């Protein structure tokens, strides 16, 4: 195990990153905790419930520094449980959009009530709640930094990105990462709001770099958002083509299509496929046969000779262009 001090690096004047010692196929090299400021600091994503990581955060404080605010991008167990542990040591208030299921769409609220459960919610921090709920546009600031909150659901209902306004850099959590795409596991994950939030960031021309929840800094965060948005639409088109040939199951499609994805990540890929199929079902273009899950069979509601005809293609493209 590496020493915590070796994971502390300076990324920019007034910004340091401390990486949690929790590497895995889903967390890459570990969760990034950010320390922003030179006097009264903001800590962004204190990470997992790991006392050693919390101790490393506290040891990173320099003379004259204190932790004044704790921000959480979303309530997954690799990002949020450390918030209360850190608060117990420093007393700083916790800021986030809300609890884990705050912001859940009406569609996914209904799906959840109908029993949709992929068994992925073991990664959800159900005990998390902020002291101060935030909404888009809210600003928290100190003498040498200012953060603006932006609700970006899709990966999780309560996901937020935080805009560091002086350099116009974005703390992106798991919404945008440079090393991988984000998992969208329904009902907590939701394909439509994810794409909407991604496109909103992609259209901004004033942003500089991005600081993600995992991996290295993103040089051009708007360009990366655009790349991810186009990638999702490309995957969606592959699903559309597969449906032309017959019924589709998320797991079988992922195994057949995600050729460069490690086996351990195929279930995550299947979750993303399911998220898109559920959106198609909401648009009344396909129907699920039986209880929803990664092995559920989805079938077209229109004959195959019409599925990829110009009028339907245009409808799909028009719907996706709105996201």
**Inter-CA distances, 306 with 46, 140, 231, 278, Å:** 51, 53, 25, 20
Q: Report, at the CATH architecture level, how domain 230-321 is classified.
A: Orthogonal Bundle (1.10)
- According to the model, what pLDDT value does residue 245 have? 85
pTM: 0.93
- Cβ(82)–Cβ(53) below 8 Å: yes
Domain positions in the chain: 4-214, 230-321
* Helix or strand run (H / E) with residue 59: helix 51-59
pLDDT (tens digit, 0 to 9) for every residue of the chain, 323 residues total?
334 445 899 999 999 999 999 999 999 999 999 999 999 999 999 999 999 999 999 999 999 999 999 999 999 999 999 999 999 999 999 999 999 999 999 999 999 998 898 887 669 999 999 999 999 999 999 999 999 999 999 999 999 999 999 999 999 999 999 999 999 999 999 999 999 999 999 999 999 999 999 999 999 999 999 999 999 989 998 998 899 889 999 999 999 999 889 999 999 999 999 999 999 999 888 999 999 999 999 999 877 666 665 555 566 666 666 66
The fold for domain 4-214 equals Metallo-beta-lactamase; Chain A (3.60.15)
- Cβ(140)–Cβ(125) below 8 Å: no
**Inter-CA distances, 10 with 5, 7, 54, Å:** 12, 10, 18
> For the chain, how big is the Rg over CA atoms in Å?
20
* Helix or strand run (H / E) with residue 162: strand 160-164
In angstroms, the CA 254 to CA 314 distance is 25
């Amino acid at each position: 195990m590496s020493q915590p001090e070796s994971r502390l690096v300076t990324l920019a004047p007034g910004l340091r990153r401390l990486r949690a010692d929790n590497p895995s196929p889903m967390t890459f090299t570990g969760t990034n905790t950010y320390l922003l400021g030179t006097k009264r600091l903001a800590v962004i994503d204190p990470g997992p419930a790991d006392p050693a990581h919390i101790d490393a955060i506290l040891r990173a404080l320099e003379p004259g520094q204190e932790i004044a605010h704790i921000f959480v991008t979303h309530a997954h167990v690799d990002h949020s449980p450390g918030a209360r542990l850190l608060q117990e040591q420093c007393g700083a208030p916790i800021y986030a959009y809300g609890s884990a299921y705050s912001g859940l769409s009406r569609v996914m609220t209904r799906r959840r009530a109908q029993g949709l459960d992929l068994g992925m919610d073991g990664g959800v921090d159900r005990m998390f709640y902020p002291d101060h709920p935030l909404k888009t546009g809210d600003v928290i600031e100190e003498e040498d930094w200012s953060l603006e909150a932006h609700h970006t659901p899709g990966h999780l209902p309560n996901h937020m990105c935080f805009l560091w306004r002086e350099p116009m850099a974005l703390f992106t959590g798991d919404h945008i990462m440079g090393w991988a795409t984000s998992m969208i596991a329904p009902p907590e994950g939701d394909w439509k709001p994810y794409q909407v939030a991604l496109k909103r960031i992609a259209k901004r021309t004033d942003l500089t770099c991005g600081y993600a929840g995992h991996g290295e800094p993103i040089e051009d965060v708007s360009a990366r958002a655009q790349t991810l948005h186009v990638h999702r639409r490309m995957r969606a088109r592959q699903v559309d083509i597969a449906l032309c040939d017959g019924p589709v199951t998320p797991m079988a499609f992922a195994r057949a299509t995600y050729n460069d994805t490690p086996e351990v990540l195929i279930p995550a890929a299947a979750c993303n496929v399911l998220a898109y199929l559920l959106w198609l079902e909401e648009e009344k273009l396909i129907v699920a046969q039986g209880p929803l899950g990664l092995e559920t069979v989805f079938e077209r509601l229109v004959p195959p000779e019409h599925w990829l005809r110009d009028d339907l293609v245009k409808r799909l493209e028009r719907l996706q262009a709105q996201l």
